Amino acid sequence: MEELGHPLLLTYQPSQKDINRSKAIIHHIVEDNKPVFARKKNGINQSYDEYPFACTAEGGTDSRVAAVTAQEQNVQGGQISALIRHNRMQSGDQFLVVLVPDPF
């Protein structure tokens, strides 16, 4: 992601989550002047995912947005939530994103 201009070192900022998600999505997927957070494609529930994550200071307007399956979005969200809980992260704490290739 760093080669795309997005940092790998992120700062946890939960108070910005909803604002950042709206800023990221509104520049990409809009219907009736409102951001669209999910839709169905070919019968599959999809959700829009962003990087840097919405819960970080780096998230928001310049985030990369992609449609992913709702299942993938739920798995990733669960992993981020587990990271935050396990490390008892507070606003302002930083974490490094390490990309690991999918073995499948």
- Encode pLDDT of 21-47 as tens digits: 888 877 666 555 555 555 656 566 778
**76 contact partners, CB below 8 Å, separation of at least 6:** 49, 68
Answer whether residue 78 is part of any domain: yes
Tell me, yes or no, whether 86 lies in a domain: yes
Is residue 88 assigned to a domain? yes
For the chain, counts of helices (H) and of strands (E): 2, 7
**103: in domain:** no
For residue 46, being part of any structural domain is answered with: yes
Q: What is the pLDDT of residue 43?
A: 61
Sort strands 38-41 and 34-35 into parallel, antiparallel or unpaired. unpaired
When mean pLDDT is compared across 23-27, 45-49, 59-63, 67-71, the lowest value belongs to: 23-27
Domain contains 35: yes
Q: Could you list the residue range(s) of the whole structural domain that residue 90 is in?
A: 2-96
Question: What is the mean predicted confidence (pLDDT) over 82-95?
Answer: 96
Residue 53 to residue 10: CA distance in whole angstroms: 8
Asked if the structure places residue 102 within a domain, the reply is no
Q: What's the confidence (pLDDT) of residue 23?
A: 85
Q: Is residue 36 part of a domain?
A: yes
35 or 13: which leads in pLDDT:
13
**Would you say residue 83 has pLDDT above 90?**
yes
